[in-house]
Each structure stands twice: as structure tokens, then as C-alpha cells.
Structure 1
Amino acid sequence: MIPENKFYLPLLAALLLLVSPTIRSQEAPPITIKGKVIEQGSGIPIAFATVMVADSETKQPITGGTTGDDGAFNIETTADNFYVEIGFLGFQSKTFGQPATRTTVMDLGEIFLAEDAEQLQEVVVEGEISRTEFKLDKRVFNVGKDLSSTGASALEVLNNVPSVNVNIEGQVSLRGSQGVQMLINGKPSIIASEEGNALGTITADMIERVEVITNPSAKYEAEGTSGIINIVLKKEERKGLNGSISVNTGTPAGHSVGVSLNRRTEKFNLFSQIGVGVRDIPTEVENRNLNLIDNTTITSIGDEYRNENYYNLVLGTDYHINDMNVLTLSGNFALEMEDQPSTTNFAEYDATNSLVSQWERTEVTDARNPKFQYELQYKKNFDEENDEHTLLFSGLGNFFGKDQSSEFSNATVSGENRDLNQQTRTDFKESVFTFKLDYTNPLTDEVTIETGAQYVLNDVSNDYELNNLVNGAYVNDPDLTNIFDYQQNVLGVYGTGSYEGEKWGVKGGLRLEHTDLSTFLATTGQANDQDFINLFPSAHTSYKFSNKISLQAGYSKRIYRPRMWDLNPFFNPRNNFFIRQGNPDLQPEFTDSYEITSIYILGKASLNFGVYHRYTSDVIERVSTFEDNVTTVRPENIGTNNSTGIEFNAKYSPLNWLTLNGDFNYSSFSRDGVFNEQEFDFSGDQWTSKLMTKVKLPADFDLEMTGNYQSSYRTVQSKVADILFMDMGVRKNIMKGKAVLNLSVRDLFASRINESLLTQTNNNQITNEVFNRRLRGRFIALGFSYGFGKGEAMQYSGQRRRF
């Protein structure tokens, strides 16, 4: 059984933080007691360990506190006859007597705690569960052994974080939006890049915590509105050769093999990963274009395929120059070989719904997509006892290319002749370089300043050509052939200051960003240059009412800069009656974001409730025009949007074998705008919900089921239908946890159907309606992972397709 004094120790320490000022002795000069609590064997700092100062005679507590994230503590007392007891649930406590000679500082140094086997048997569920807490301007999800010992990947850990979801392609979303910036240890990284699914190679046991920032401070670049997810890895050094191997198969085809190797020495950490695989992603597509002027209709039904062979190689090293300086160099090469065999059946009907023409359109597309990434990072610590005082420089280079050729062929089946043959060629190149310098200085235990700069250079070129078969020879179409160049350089500098006390904290900051953007259409000579400077303020505050209730409020200003495909007016003519284009004159949109959130810990349940408001100007919306039975959609800046919403997240473990996770998000919005003398004023609402159930079954099986619902909602011209779908997974640990078998089924009932109805008007008269339906269907995957050396079983699911 757990000793009684240890059971009440955390509660007593928390209460004493409130009452200790009134019971301190005022007669003796204060003594500062400090030290750092570390787990014996692994050397990992123990956060939230309890430190109690008690009277030597009465054994009654005098004051106390808990350790920080780095395991350090600093406590003052004026008592003249005391001892110090340090403990943490599941570990053996240590006691230190008062020094023989009274001094102003009692430095206990590094205090190593060993696991207590007897305690661990009693508290395995209570002490090892993953939990969420607030840290001034972010929400922190601490990864416990309920996740870290299961062989789960980082993607599965993210799926357990409130407000976060990961879809079938490894895309991470926050509050339903996929515009999320992913960081590793607070910086951009090859592992967290959008272009790959390398997050699937990080195992839960490597993750210390996940930080969710829904309203980022001025420290972070102002791009995007969805927020930031920062994965903080453990500092544990596993010396020797470690590694893992993973084999996956599935239907539709999803086969891959991944091998990870890691070699650690006193000075070097060498890591590598190699993976190969194939993946098929079929999609059923249906479109109906109804012309309400002459009542003619054009329908299309078909199957689109994205088949890939991919190869991935990662090499890197950490060089520990000394205890205060670390240098990291890493690189990633990946190659995708794409094949897109698609077939679509078209039909045209007249006003009496009689068939006019029927034809089949086939597409044969081949693409070769090379990717290169490389990263250089230097980190300097200024204080051995405080690893928060740091200087961090990182340089990240990223290249993506696409060499693609397509052939389209129309073959008339009946009625009016629709024969047509087209060829397209795409030569796409993108280079992105990110240079970042951050300096953090905790001036005191409560006050911290941050400053830094970031420079992002983006250079894109898209050479696109379309040819039509005329009289037996392919002839270039000059109206649909061009070279589009896009360059965007963003320089940002920032400064923040924060105060974080025991209960209350505040943080303010200001960021300045200079954007230099230019686009050029080589064939037409059309150029568009934009140069602007913007200020992005931020302010955050939090208050801890108790260990169970906390409140946080924040404000930040954000920007969304149009991407290359928002600006490029050229397109893939997969469907000649529904065309998507870019807009070279598109302007960025700005958002003022306000948020108040709270967290409640109620026994075995944790609850999060938040209210937010966003005001966005120059909103980017997809606007369609209709001419000659062809619908053309392109982005435009249309007015403003006010959105107010509430968010509720809950996690509840009523039984040792059952865990429930629930998310609910509701927002109402009001749109005001005018485009081409047409008003786009309207209001609406939408909501999403998710319920995840995890069940521990006999024979070391784990079952997970997740239900998702997304309500219908309006856009400027469309209504998007609601979606209800379910995912399921079963995992079994074998070979004492060194190996994992995993079966997952995405969209269990094949009900994840995306439907929308686009309505176009002219002079308040509806001119046409376009119905669109897309279904990807059920995905089933079976995986086996095995860790050797000190490695852990992991998942390798390959690289996520870029386009």
C-alpha cells in the first residue's frame, strides 16, 4: 500500500502554497532551497514532483511546491528547524535534513528518484494517464504511459489530443481546419514538414508533450489562422544502436516497408530512415451542371485514381559539441512516381430531358515528383541549470518538383460528335528557404523575454502547355499555355515579454513582417508586384484558480497570403465543363482573433471549454461564373467575415479499461461583401463533433472507435452537405511490447461523402446549378512493427501526396 503521508503529500503542498505566507516565521532570515529532481537510470527530469518543507519536531508541513518542466525547484522558508522531503507518485521519496550551519541558500543539486515497484502496482492507472493543462499562451498535452507504452505513432498521439484530428493521408487538422503549422521542439523540421508523413516514424514513447497553440503569440510567424502544434521530444539519450522495422499492407493498395536506425554515442547521435511503398487512392466523382436559362443539363460520372510508388531516405546527425552547444544537420530525399488512370462518362440532355450526346473521357497521367529537404540547426544554452536560456538558429531548405504529362481523349458513344484529344505538360519547381533565429532569456523565475527574426524565401515556376489534336497533328493552344513565375520573400522580427507567477501570468508581443511578392505570366507579359509591411500584436493572460481550474484569454492578428495555386490562372482540364483557376490579383486576408478558454479537472475527467471570435477582412472565397455551359471557379477577395464560436472538449476514464474523448465545435458567421455589383451578404452557422472510444480488451488487445459528424454549411455561392462517418482500429502488443500488430479501418461504413450544390445568379436570377459529389470509400490497413536494440515499434506510412 502507498504510505499515507505520500498519498496526501501533493494535496498538502498545494494547500500550503496558499497559506504558507501567513505561517512563516518572521524572525529568522529566509533560506532558499533549490535543486533538480531527475529519474534514476534514464536521467530524465521529473516535472511536477512534490517538494515539502516540514517541521522536524511536529512533522507538520511548513511550505512546499512542485518542480517545473526541467525538474528544477526553488522554495523559500524562514523556519529554523526543518527537513525537506521530495517525492513523486510511483517513485521512492528522499528526505534531507537542515544544514548544520544556517546559510541563505540550501542547494540540494541533482536529486535522483528511483521507481517504487510497490507504488507502481497501486497507481498504474492514476499516475500514468495522459493529461492536458494550460501554460500561459498554450494548451499542453502531457503524454503518459497509457500512450507511450503502446507502440503508437505521433499521428495516433495527435488523434488523442483535444481539438486535433488526423485523416487518412496523415493530414493534421485543428478545430476542423488543415491550415496548421507543425513544429518539432519549437522549430520547423524535416520530420514535421507538410510534404511528408515522417510524423508516423516518431513513436509515442519519444514524445514528452504536445503543445497546442490556437491563438499564437508574436513569436510565431503571422501566417495562417488555424494555430500551431508543437511536438516536444524527450531529452533521453539512448546510447548504442537502436532501430525498428515496419511492414504495412492494405486495400485499396497501401503497401510499405520502413526501416529506422539510430546510433548514439557520447558526442554524436546518428539517425537514418529508409522507406518504400505503393499506394492507390481511388475516388468516385459525380457532377451535374444544370443550365436554368435553357434547361439543358450536362452530367459526368467517373472514377479518378492517384496511384503512387514512393521512396524515402532520411539521414542526420546531432553533434554535442559540449554540454552547452548542439549542432544538428539532416537531409531528406524522396521520390514519387505518379500514375492517374481516370475515366469519366459524360452525357448532355436538352430541355425535354432527351439525350443529345454521350461520350467517354479518359485520362492517362504520369508524373515524377522529386523532393529534397535539408536542415541545419545550432542551439546554445547559456545556463547549465536553466535550459530555457537559449539561442537557436535554424536553416531549412525545401525543393519540390513535378514533371507531369497527361493525355485526354473524348470518344463519342452516341448522339452529337464529342470526339476530342488533348495533351498537357507541366514542369513545376518550388524552392523554399527558411532562416530563423530565436533568443529566449528567463530574467527571473517569473519573467521571460524573447526576441528573434525569420526570413522565408519562396521561389516557384510553373511551365504549363496544352495542345489539341487538329487534323491528325497536335496544335498548341496559346490561350492555355504559359510560364507562371511566383516569388515571395517575407522578413519578420519580433519581441515578447511575459510574467508567469504561481497563479497568474501575462504575455505581450509585437511582430513586424515585410512581404515582397511578385507574379509574372511570361507569355502575356502580365506582372503583379506587391510590397507591404504589417504589424501583428498579440496579448495573452492566464489565471490558475486551483490545481483543477484554469482560465486563459488571448488576442492575435494573423494573415493568410495567397499560395501559388491561388494565383496561377492555369488548370488541369480533367473536366472541360468545370474549371478551377487561380487569380494573379488576389490580395492577402487579415484576421483579428480573440479567445477565452478554460480547463477543469474533475476526478477522472478533464473538460475544456472555450469561446472565440474572429474578424476577417479581404476574405478569400471561391467564386464561379457560368458561360456556354462551362462553370469557371477562381478565388476572389470578397468583403468581411465575423465568426463567433464555442468549443468543448472532454476526456473521461470511468473505468480502467475504458476512455472516452469528445469534441464539439459550433460557430455562427456573418458575411458582408460585393463582387461585380452583386451582393454576397448572408449569415449562417456550422458545427462539428467527434467521439472517440478506447477499450482495453483481454489478451493485450486495444480497440478504438471514432465517430465524426460535420454539419452542413453555406459558402458565398454553395451549400455543403453534412457528413457522418466512423473510423475503427484494433492494436495488439506482442513480444513484451517490442512488436505491435495494428488493424485500422477508415470510413468504416463508406459514408464519408462530400456533396455540394453551387448556385449562380445574375441580376438576382438563378442561371445555373452545379452539383458535385465525391467519395473515396473504405480504407483498410494492416501493419506490423518491431523495435530492436532500445528502439520501439513504430509505424511507417510513407509520404503524403503533395498534389
Structure 2
Amino acid sequence: MKKKMLLMYPILVFLMGLNGLFAQQKIKTITGLVIEETTAQPIAFATVLVADPETQKPITGTTTLDDGSFSIETDADNFYIEISFIGFTSKTFGQPVTTGKSINLGTVVLSEDAQQLQEVVVQGEISRTEFKLDKRVFNVGKDISSTGVSALEVLNNVPSVNVNIEGQISLRGSQGVQILINGKPSVIASEEGNTLGTITADMIDRIEVITNPSAKYDAEGTSGIINIVIKKDQRKGFNGSVSVNTGAPDAHSVGISLNKRSEKFNLFSQIGFGIRELPEDTENRNVDLVNNTTVLSAGTEYRNETFYNLVLGTDYYITDSNVLTLSGNFAMEIEDQPSATGFTSLDGAGNITSEWQRTEVTEAENPKLQFELQYKKDFKGDEDHNLIFSSLGSLFAKDQSSDFINETISGSDNDAEQKTRTDFKEAVFTFKLDYTKPFTEKWKMETGAQYVINDVNNDYEVSNFDGSNFIVDPGLTNLFEFNQNVLGFYGTGSYEGEKWGVKGGLRLEQTLLNTYLANTNEENEQNYTNLFPSVHTSYKFTEKISMQAGYSKRVYRPRLWDLNPFFNIRNNFSIRQGNPNLQPEYTDSYEITSIYILGKASINFGVFYRYTTDVIERISVFENNVNTVRPENIGKNNLTGLEFNAKYSPFNWMSLNGDFNYTTFTREGTFEDTVFDFSGDQWSSKLMAKVQLPADFELQTTGNYQSKVKTVQGVRSDNLFLDLGLRKDILKGKAVLSLSVRDLFASRVNENQIAQNDFEVYDRGQRGRFIALGFSYGFGKGEAMQYSGQQRRF
């Protein structure tokens, strides 16, 4: 039992019995000083535990300060004291015989336990994956946590997870993944401008990958959930880190992270500033096969940003079993988009009939405010028996103006001027209540409710120059209002034994959606109620072989930009448009996965099947060489997939991580008398190699391949690219120098082709190579970290 308590050191810091709140007896104060035997140096953060001698359960506890001293109070009449620290032999004191209120243990000397220390190091050396009923748990080991990288880099090490050059996260090749922090939405994990770069690897205990979420989680989304679980770090005092980064294309930032922890408060903040340049080379070809005309366009689109970011928050320990968390994030982005595109018009014989250039000058200010409030209550000192209330709010605005000028170079006159104005406001509020009750160590119940309010207003105006004045174009101008409220209730029950476990649940969600186009007086209201069942089971054959199976029903509700019929006229021959009549798509998801531990290798293998109805696809409508892309509900999709992940560490200085996904699908659907029945397949793979080099250098290479895939109207081409990273620890690990190159050979190209009976469309986009150099330094008890801002994708 004592060894078990020692291994629980990270979480046994402020455990106190509820009887401590209402004690009528006289309180005793226990003090002392803890030092090392060999050096006589004080031991900070050693665990001091007061426990019941009969049950050996904790009564109260604390940790030593920087100088090794401690002071703890108890009103218990019968107790013993245990002092422990990882890597040292514990010392136990029976209850001292005293009639006073003070107990001084004097100087407590702890000696190193070599065998125990070796066990701990080996156990924490390598990151490993294991099953927990409805989730796959990636435990972050020393091979990652000691490198000082950000959470985004840690996610790139997790099987099935990819993080692209812009920080977008995908799971099994699909985006739209929901990111949670400690099981709930968070300011630092929101999709819009998230600050995951402020979370370092040493702060992360584990990452839970939920590809088939249970009824406990929001039924929204089909890609799955990634939950980042933060360590219960009990370091007191002042901690901090500063990060400076530069790169090409221009990407320069400075970030400062500060943390102050005391007995009652944990204050944290993050301040960031930066500028970045995001160029993209684009190429389009629109071919009208009826009139034998072609329009070609090529250019470079820029998105230059200056951004400011501030995060402030605090954890307040009302009592040891009642914690209140309040945090906020304010960000401001100032955009500049100086883009230029050249156009060429061809006749049926391939002769040039006209050439012109379209330039864009866009300026925008995007303020964003987020807040988070959470209250957590642990019952009877049991963390597994708890009640959590959380509230997350997000306010975002965009004030944007654009000037477009067409200048004729040759041939037909295409001179024109346009202006657009965007006044956008969005408010999203999420309220969540979760209650977890373990009846025994094996049986557990979870229940709760969630209410999400989404309120959007987008005032969009297009004006054309008639030679003397700008005249509003009523066909492209409108005020769009979007309101969606989702109310959900859930309940789950689970049994988890030593080898076998099962979990079942049911979620009820009611959705009320309303869209309104003010200028045309078009209104669309949807009100629907759905049940989302789930069932999961897992079985551990041996310590090295285990299996998991699960089923859940999911929903994808159309987003704002799926519904808004007006979007962007940057290239007025390639227009994206929303559909206010779009319906949600539903997916039944089944999967079976397994884990094999073979010496220094771990292997994951799984198969999954998804049946989706009312599938949302983006359909191209072609007229006068203008390609308008609009989402539509088209039929159903049957998808079957295989997934294989493997990690192998042949040497202490090398680790290899491989990821392979293969899917085959059958589509059935009809849209406007056109039948879209077809079958196809695709596969993707990722191979990552990490090598420890002399002089504390670390080299990491990641190769990615995505095969071509047939789409509803055409083909999306394959993609092959390589990322490279080099890192060096300096100043005894308190600082890190890093060099990263994304898309080393500039081979990552997004290429799509559409071939229909009456038209053909080809489009190509490329971001190019990104190079970044960073320096991070941790002070106090802080660790070196990387700061990375991320743009709000609008």
C-alpha cells in the first residue's frame, strides 16, 4: 500500500477529508524539514501524507516548499505520517504522543532508492498507447516530454493524428476534430485562433484519442475527439517561459508564459505578439465544352497578419475538494491581403481573346474574446466521484473592406472596379453539467446536460463602379442571420474489470436552427430531435495484447459558411457559395481496434465502417466559364477502412513511428437529375523518425503521403511531402534552440480536377516551403516552450 501511495505522488497533493471542514476537535499543526541524505540539500515538492492507520486511506496531505519545509494541519485523533518522494525511500512516523497543538518532526532525511528510481525511469521513458473502454490513450513519455516542444508537436507524434503547416489538426485524414482540455472545451483549445502552442509537452500527462465517441460527448462531428489531459502539476512558486521565433516566409513572434502557484491560487497568463505572411500560389482553368471557351487564371494570394494575444486565468482552491477556474483570452488580428491574379480568355482554337489582371487590396480587423468558467467538486475526497459545471463563451467580429480592380492587358475590355464590405459578428456560448458517480471500483455512472447557443450576423455588401459612382449590387448583397441552439442530455453506465469492460450510453439532442436573408426575406427554420446511442467494450488478453470495439451514432450540422449563400469574389470565375437549405448528415460508426506490444515495438491495428446519410458534398455549377461551388445533400455513403500504426525504438537514441490508413467507399446519390453513383478508395501514410544526436541535438523527419481519390465530380490528386526538425537543448535544458522546415522539397500541392459532359475545371494551390527558427527559455521552475499563434479561419 505504501508503494502504491508513492506511485500516486503526482495526484496526492491536496487530498483532505471532508471532516476537516467541519471539525470540532482541536487542530494539530505538524511541521518539519525534508532533506537528501547524500547532499543535505532540501527536497522540494516531497509528499507529506497524514493517513488513517486502520484503512491506510489519506486524511490530508501537502508538499514541501522550495526550502524543504512543510506545515500541515489535522484534527484527526488517530493517524500516522508518511513522507515520500519519487526515487527515495519513504519514511513513516506513528502518531507522536503529545498533548499540545504542535508536532515538530525536525529534520527528516530521505535516502535514494536506486531500484525504485530505475523502475520509474524505465516506465516513463517511452510513450505508449493503451485502451480505456471508449478511447485510445497515448501516454506521453520521457522521449517526448523532455524535448520542450508544444502540444501541436506532441499531437504529431500520436498515431492517426496529423497537424499541418497552419496548425490544423486532422484525425484519420479528416478535419473537423473537436479538441478538449481535461475533457471539456477550453479557451486554449478553440478552433479559432487556438493557443495550443502555450501548452508544452512536459505539462501533458496523456492524450486521449476518441475516434468513436460515447454518448457522454457532443454528437456533433464524425472525425472524432482529441482530449489533452494536463498533469496535476503541484509546483509552487513562480514559473515562466519566453519564446522568440522567426521564419520565412515572414513569421516572427514573441511569447511569454507566466505562472504563479500558491496554496489557494494558481495564476497563469500568456502574452503573445507576432506577424506572419501566408502566401499561396493558385492556378485555375475553366473550360466550357459547349461554347468552346476557356478562362485561365494564375496568381499569388497573400494573407498577411499582425496579431496580439493575451490569456489570463486562475484556479482557486476554495477547499481541497472544491476548485473554481476562471480564464479569458483576448486576441486581435489585423489583416492585409495584397493579392494579384492574371486572367487569360481563349477561344475554341486556343487563341487569346483577352488578357487582364485582377488585384485585391483587403484590410480587416478581427477582435476576439473568449472566457471560461468552471466549478469542480470532488465528493468525499474521491476524484472519480465529482460534479463539474463549465461555461465557455466566444465572441468574434470581423470588420473587412476590399477593393478589386480589373485592368485590361490585351483584347476585349475587362476593366472593372468592385468593392466589398463585411461586418461580421459571432457569439457562441456552451454550458455543460457533468456528474460522475463510481458505485464500486468497477462500476461507474455518468450523466449530464449541455446547451450550446450560436448566434451569427453577417452583413455583406458588393458594389460595382459604373464610371462615376459605386452602385450596390443587390444580387450579391445581403444581411445573413444564423441562429442555432442545441440542447442535449446524456447518461452512460460502465463496468471495467481487470481484463474486460463494457460501456453503454444514450444521448438526446434537440436542435433549433434558423437562417434569415434579410434583403430577400428568405427564412429557413429547422427543428429536430435525435437519439444518439453508443456502446463500447474492451478486453485485455494479456499485458501485451488487448482489443476494443465500439458503435456510436454521430451528426454533422451544417456550419455557418455551409449555409451562407454569399462568401467571396476574390476570383470571380471561381466562387464559393453556401446553401441555406442544407440538412445535417448522420453517420452510424462501427470499429474494432487492437494493440500488440512486442518488445520495443507497439502495434495498433483496426477496422472501421461508417454509413452516412444525407451526405454533404460540394457541387460545381458551371455557367459562362464561372465555376460556383455550393454544398448539397447528395445520397448516402458506405465507407470501410483499415488502420495500422506502429512504433518501434530499436535503440535508445532512435524511435520510428508509422501510420497507414486505407478506406474504400461506395457512393449513391442524385442531384438535379444527375446520378452520382460511384465507388473509390484512398490511402494515406506517415512515417516519422526521431534520432538523438551528439551534443544534445535531436533530429526528426516526418514523411507524409496521401493518395489520389475520386470525388463526386472529379479527382483529387495525390500528395507527397516531407517535414524536418532539428532541436538542441542548451543551458542545462532550460533553453531550446529549434529549426523546422515544413514541406522541405516544396512538393505539397492541392490539386483538383472536375470532368463533366459540358465543362471541365482544374484548380491548383501551393503554400510552399516554410522555415522557422526558434529560441525558448524557461525561468523559475518553468520549462522551455514554443509559442505559436494561429489565425482565425474566416
The TM-score normalised by the length of structure 2 is 0.88
1:668 aligns with 664
1:754-795 Cα distance to aligned partner (Å, 9 max, x none) = 1110123xxxxx101000000100000000000000111111
Do the aligned partners of residues 127 and 482 (structure 1) sit closer, same or farther apart at CA in structure 2, a change above 3 Å counting? closer
What residue identity is the alignment partner of 2:761?
V
2:514 aligns with 518
C-alpha separation in 2, matches of 1:732 and 1:288: 46
- Cα deviation for residue 196 of structure 1 reads 2.3
Corresponding position: 1:464 with 2:460: yes
C-alpha separation in 2, matches of 1:184 and 1:114: 37
What residue identity is the alignment partner of 1:657?
W
- Cα deviation for residue 116 of structure 1 reads 3.6
Which one of the candidate residues 717, 724, 740 is aligned to 2:720? 724
C-alpha separation in 2, matches of 1:490 and 1:671: 30
1:399 aligns with 395
Q: Within 5 Å, give how 1:296-445 maps onto structure 2.
A: 296-384=293-381, 386-445=382-441
Identity among equivalent pairs (%): 70
- Cα deviation for residue 571 of structure 1 reads 2.1
1:547 aligns with 543
Q: Within 5 Å, give how 1:611-690 maps onto structure 2.
A: 611-690=607-686
Corresponding residue SS for 2:154:
helix
Corresponding residue SS for 1:146:
helix
1:37 aligns with 5
Corresponding residue SS for 2:413:
coil
Which one of the candidate residues 214, 231, 236 is aligned to 1:234? 231
C-alpha separation in 2, matches of 1:207 and 1:113: 28
Do the aligned partners of residues 691 and 398 (structure 1) sit closer, same or farther apart at CA in structure 2, a change above 3 Å counting? same
1:55 aligns with none
- Cα deviation for residue 154 of structure 1 reads 1.1
- Cα deviation for residue 114 of structure 1 reads 8.0
- Cα deviation for residue 115 of structure 1 reads 6.1
2:755 aligns with 759
Which one of the candidate residues 434, 439, 442 is aligned to 1:446? 442
Corresponding position: 1:778 with 2:769: yes
- Cα deviation for residue 574 of structure 1 reads 1.0
C-alpha separation in 1, matches of 2:677 and 2:418: 40
Corresponding residue SS for 2:188:
coil
What residue identity is the alignment partner of 1:292?
L
- Cα deviation for residue 631 of structure 1 reads 1.3
What residue identity is the alignment partner of 2:685?
S
1:683-724 Cα distance to aligned partner (Å, 9 max, x none) = 000000000000000000000000000000011112000000
- Cα deviation for residue 626 of structure 1 reads 1.2
Corresponding residue SS for 2:758:
strand
Which one of the candidate residues 480, 498, 504 is aligned to 2:500? 504
C-alpha separation in 2, matches of 1:34 and 1:276: 48
- Cα deviation for residue 471 of structure 1 reads 2.2
Corresponding position: 1:769 with 2:765: no
C-alpha separation in 1, matches of 2:319 and 2:121: 37
More displaced stretch, 256-265 vs 622-631: 622-631
Corresponding residue SS for 2:423:
strand
C-alpha separation in 1, matches of 2:538 and 2:85: 27
1:29 aligns with none
C-alpha separation in 1, matches of 2:119 and 2:372: 45
Do the aligned partners of residues 460 and 316 (structure 1) sit closer, same or farther apart at CA in structure 2, a change above 3 Å counting? same
Corresponding residue SS for 1:499:
strand
The total of aligned residue pairs comes to 720
C-alpha separation in 2, matches of 1:306 and 1:41: 48
C-alpha separation in 2, matches of 1:34 and 1:312: 46
2:25 aligns with none
C-alpha separation in 2, matches of 1:285 and 1:722: 17
1:692 aligns with 688
Contact kept in structure 2, 1:170 and 1:800, CA below 8 Å:
no
Contact kept in structure 1, 2:618 and 2:629, CA below 8 Å:
yes
Which one of the candidate residues 783, 786, 792 is aligned to 1:795? 786
Do the aligned partners of residues 520 and 43 (structure 1) sit closer, same or farther apart at CA in structure 2, a change above 3 Å counting? closer
Do the aligned partners of residues 290 and 646 (structure 1) sit closer, same or farther apart at CA in structure 2, a change above 3 Å counting? same
C-alpha separation in 1, matches of 2:394 and 2:528: 25
1:345-384 Cα distance to aligned partner (Å, 9 max, x none) = 0000111111100000000000000000011100000021
C-alpha separation in 1, matches of 2:583 and 2:137: 35
Corresponding residue SS for 1:565:
helix
Corresponding position: 1:292 with 2:282: no
Corresponding residue SS for 2:627:
strand
Task: Give the alignment's Cα RMSD to 1 decimal.
Answer: 2.6
Do the aligned partners of residues 710 and 733 (structure 1) sit closer, same or farther apart at CA in structure 2, a change above 3 Å counting? same
Corresponding position: 1:149 with 2:142: no
C-alpha separation in 2, matches of 1:223 and 1:730: 38
Contact kept in structure 2, 1:248 and 1:783, CA below 8 Å:
yes
Do the aligned partners of residues 136 and 34 (structure 1) sit closer, same or farther apart at CA in structure 2, a change above 3 Å counting? farther
C-alpha separation in 2, matches of 1:538 and 1:678: 36
Do the aligned partners of residues 453 and 229 (structure 1) sit closer, same or farther apart at CA in structure 2, a change above 3 Å counting? same
Q: Within 5 Å, give how 1:82-93 maps onto structure 2.
A: 91=87
Corresponding residue SS for 2:213:
coil
Corresponding position: 1:136 with 2:133: yes
1:263 aligns with 260
Contact kept in structure 1, 2:88 and 2:117, CA below 8 Å:
no
Corresponding residue SS for 1:387:
strand
Do the aligned partners of residues 514 and 430 (structure 1) sit closer, same or farther apart at CA in structure 2, a change above 3 Å counting? same
What residue identity is the alignment partner of 1:291?
D
What residue identity is the alignment partner of 1:354?
N
1:7 aligns with none
C-alpha separation in 1, matches of 2:433 and 2:359: 51
Which one of the candidate residues 193, 205, 214 is aligned to 1:208? 205
More displaced stretch, 114-123 vs 578-587: 114-123
C-alpha separation in 1, matches of 2:706 and 2:580: 32
Contact kept in structure 2, 1:208 and 1:233, CA below 8 Å:
yes
1:174 aligns with 171
- Cα deviation for residue 38 of structure 1 reads 3.0
What residue identity is the alignment partner of 2:637?
N
Do the aligned partners of residues 237 and 495 (structure 1) sit closer, same or farther apart at CA in structure 2, a change above 3 Å counting? same
Do the aligned partners of residues 297 and 594 (structure 1) sit closer, same or farther apart at CA in structure 2, a change above 3 Å counting? same
Corresponding position: 1:163 with 2:160: yes
C-alpha separation in 2, matches of 1:231 and 1:113: 34
Contact kept in structure 2, 1:244 and 1:261, CA below 8 Å:
yes
Contact kept in structure 2, 1:170 and 1:197, CA below 8 Å:
no
Corresponding residue SS for 1:196:
coil
C-alpha separation in 1, matches of 2:615 and 2:681: 17
Do the aligned partners of residues 547 and 122 (structure 1) sit closer, same or farther apart at CA in structure 2, a change above 3 Å counting? closer
What residue identity is the alignment partner of 1:176?
G
1:569 aligns with 565
Corresponding position: 1:495 with 2:463: no
- Cα deviation for residue 230 of structure 1 reads 0.6
- Cα deviation for residue 799 of structure 1 reads 2.9
C-alpha separation in 1, matches of 2:190 and 2:580: 27
C-alpha separation in 2, matches of 1:637 and 1:93: 65
Contact kept in structure 2, 1:91 and 1:116, CA below 8 Å:
yes
Question: What residue ranges of structure 1 are gaps of 5+ in the alignment?
Answer: 1-32, 46-71, 77-85, 97-111, 761-765
C-alpha separation in 1, matches of 2:664 and 2:111: 53
